[in-house]
Structure 1
Amino acid sequence: MERRCDPSAEMQPSLPDKARQLAELRHRIARLEKASPALNSESEAVSGGQFVPLRVDSADRVLGGGFPSAALTEIRLAEPRGGGGGAGFLAGVASLCGASAERPLLWISERHVKAELGVFYAPGLRTFGLDPSSLLLVHTRRLQEALWAAEEAAGSGGAALVVLEVSGNPHLLGLEGTRRLHVRARASGLPLVLLRQAGQPEATAAPLRLQIAPAAAGAVPDLSHIGRLVGQPAFDVAVEKSASGRPGRFRLEWNQDERHFTAAEQNSGRVPAASVDRQAVSQKPWPVLAPDVSLARRRRA
């Protein structure tokens, strides 16, 4: 019987060849990302160990040192109405990053996103220690243009903080799209934020993902007896993803005088109104208004 050989079998590489090709591919990817393939440290894997401390020990401990200053960070807002909380938190981070007219806070978004969610109130930036000239807005017609602007800004390293604001979960910002942003941010040593309005959690290349929500402001120090006064801006922060894999949750306030974050109490500090004796109230006769005339007849009169 004639024995036939499969020609495709001769072309398949042996196991040693496959291992060598796989090792070469790993080293090639590592060179493109400017990282060593043996990088195992959690802090180095995030951003080369570079952080901007929030100056709140509990928060910095959960984040592994602070807000990453040379990486892509994803911030998710569950609802569009929470956009003010996300903007306020990032304004505080930009202030800690030293945003100025020379190195601004660069905020990139599509036009329809800003049309739905609004824009910054320039004088309000001073609350977070930012001069209005330190904010640079870029509004694009398409998401592709916004993504291109974010990649170029991250690669230039000329901004103190770059924010790419999107709505929902566009496919362009999946694992591959966010990987390019993270590589650019890490190479230039610049903090880059992907801000998702009304987005759902998904797999991205960002080592850190936070969910931000506005929190009830606490009482004004030394004036807590005046209930109508509004305290410092407050933010609820939940760590949904981190390099350490440890979830966390904390509440921060922005100190307008010291211009940094502080730990906030979980309650608003308001004192509830004094209770009343309902039985005594129910026994008290209430005055009768126009017993023989209906409200409709009185209106016609």
Structure 2
Amino acid sequence: MADTAVQRETVLSLRETIARIENRRLPGVVRAAKAADPGGFRQREEDEPGRKALALGVPDLDDLLEGGLPLEGMTEIRNAETRDAGAAAGFAAALSVLCQRARLEKGEPAAPVLWISQSMASTEAGMPYGLGLKAFGLDVRGLVFSLPRTIKDALWIAEAALSVPSFCAVILEIRGNPAALALSESRRLHVRSRAGHVPLLLLRQSGHEEASSAFFRFLVEPAPARERPLPDGSMLRGSIGHPVFHVIAEKSRAPAPLGFFLEWNPHDRRLYPVEPLPAAAAADPESAHSVARLSASSGRSGRAQALGELVAFPRAS
């Protein structure tokens, strides 16, 4: 019986530890804590002040995030393949723009965005382009870019930046699932982010799902853009509109992953929910100006030649 009680207590302790790391509550554990502390000398989790969040303007997504993007803590953004790195980086940049705008709307002094890109990640997917980020809505005058060589250097820079309230957001871009960024390092970054009141966006390039201390984790994929609207309300056929992201909430309090199609408008600096395009329209959109892809060669017609008769030759061996 004693061995059974010890095992039960060990399992309960592990559950409490996991719940604290994932920042969630276990009703049975909370009741046990109250019973163990009848005098109320310890601060319980439900007595702690609520975390600050930035509403993203998408009601369903804000409800899932319990108010919006956490402004004190870590949020993980990943893409499954290297070719989708641009979409994940674009979504992280859009969240950074919202953080910049929120400070200005509150009347707080402007603060830069720190983008830390480990050299292997920037080598595989390229570095952020200033003019592109400016067109995307980010104030590049308030952007600090760091290019450390190793993962340990990137983690050191991130921890140092989160220790001082000098940035409105910190983006940490890494490649894959390095051993130097395990659960313990993730927990340390999360605690530093909460203590420094600076949101941390962990941008994991071509990474897999793994244990993390982040409040939420998103899988970001590119989605077909809509056509550009005209002043009369019609759409310009064959045009390319604002970027669209397929965002899947992999880690949240929802019982199953939820997906959203979000369009980023760099002029309004807002995210808008959109409906997914039909598969046929997304796969082969019809161009407004149908022309030959290649000009005809000199002295030849531009059309494909019809096949002649097929002759079956006997096999040589």
Provide the TM-score with structure 2 as the length reference. 0.69
CA distance in structure 2 between the aligned counterparts of 1:270 and 1:199, rounded to whole angstroms: 30
> Cα deviation per residue 1:133-159 (whole Å; 9 max; x = unaligned)?
222111111111100001111111211
Shift of 1:236: 0.6
Q: Are 2:139 and 1:131 equivalent residues in the alignment? A: yes
| Cα separation, partners in 2 of 1:226 and 1:148, compared to 1, 3 Å | same
| Cα separation, partners in 2 of 1:68 and 1:229, compared to 1, 3 Å | same
Shift of 1:247: 2.9
Mapping 1:215-234, distance limit 5 Å? 215-222=223-230, 226-234=236-244
Q: Are 2:173 and 1:165 equivalent residues in the alignment? A: yes
> Cα deviation per residue 1:249-301 (whole Å; 9 max; x = unaligned)?
1111111221111111211695966xxxxxxxxxxxxx996999xxxxxxxxx
CA distance in structure 2 between the aligned counterparts of 1:78 and 1:164, rounded to whole angstroms: 17
Shift of 1:112: 2.5
Q: Extract unaligned runs of 5+ from structure 2.
A: 1-5, 22-41, 287-302, 309-317
Kindly name which structure, 1 or 2, has the bigger radius of gyration based on alpha carbons: 1
CA distance in structure 2 between the aligned counterparts of 1:290 and 1:81, rounded to whole angstroms: 38
Three-state SS of the structure 2 residue aligned to 1:202 is coil
Three-state SS of the structure 2 residue aligned to 1:88 is helix
8 Å CA contact retained: 1:51, 1:65? yes
| Cα separation, partners in 2 of 1:254 and 1:289, compared to 1, 3 Å | closer
Q: Are 2:213 and 1:210 equivalent residues in the alignment? A: no
> Which of 105, 110, 114 matches 2:113?
105
> Cα deviation per residue 1:151-187 (whole Å; 9 max; x = unaligned)?
1111112111101111111112111000000000111
Shift of 1:49: 2.6
> Cα deviation per residue 1:34-65 (whole Å; 9 max; x = unaligned)?
xx762148xx7xx9331111111122122221
CA distance in structure 2 between the aligned counterparts of 1:165 and 1:132, rounded to whole angstroms: 18
Q: Are 2:166 and 1:142 equivalent residues in the alignment? A: no
Percent identity of equivalent pairs: 38
* Partner in structure 1 of residue 44 of structure 2: 38
CA distance in structure 1 between the aligned counterparts of 2:158 and 2:304, rounded to whole angstroms: 68
* Partner in structure 1 of residue 197 of structure 2: 189
| Cα separation, partners in 2 of 1:37 and 1:144, compared to 1, 3 Å | farther
> Which of 249, 258, 268 matches 1:258?
268
| Cα separation, partners in 2 of 1:154 and 1:244, compared to 1, 3 Å | farther
Q: Extract unaligned runs of 5+ from structure 1.
A: 1-14, 31-35, 274-286, 293-301
* Partner in structure 2 of residue 86 of structure 1: 88
* Partner in structure 1 of residue 130 of structure 2: 122
User: How many residues are matched?
Assistant: 249
8 Å CA contact retained: 2:100, 2:110? no
Q: Are 2:245 and 1:239 equivalent residues in the alignment? A: no
* Partner in structure 1 of residue 50 of structure 2: 48
CA distance in structure 2 between the aligned counterparts of 1:92 and 1:289, rounded to whole angstroms: 49
CA distance in structure 2 between the aligned counterparts of 1:266 and 1:96, rounded to whole angstroms: 24
One-letter amino acid of the structure 2 residue matched with residue 54 of structure 1: L
RMSD of aligned residue pairs (Cα, Å): 3.4
Shift of 1:108: 0.7
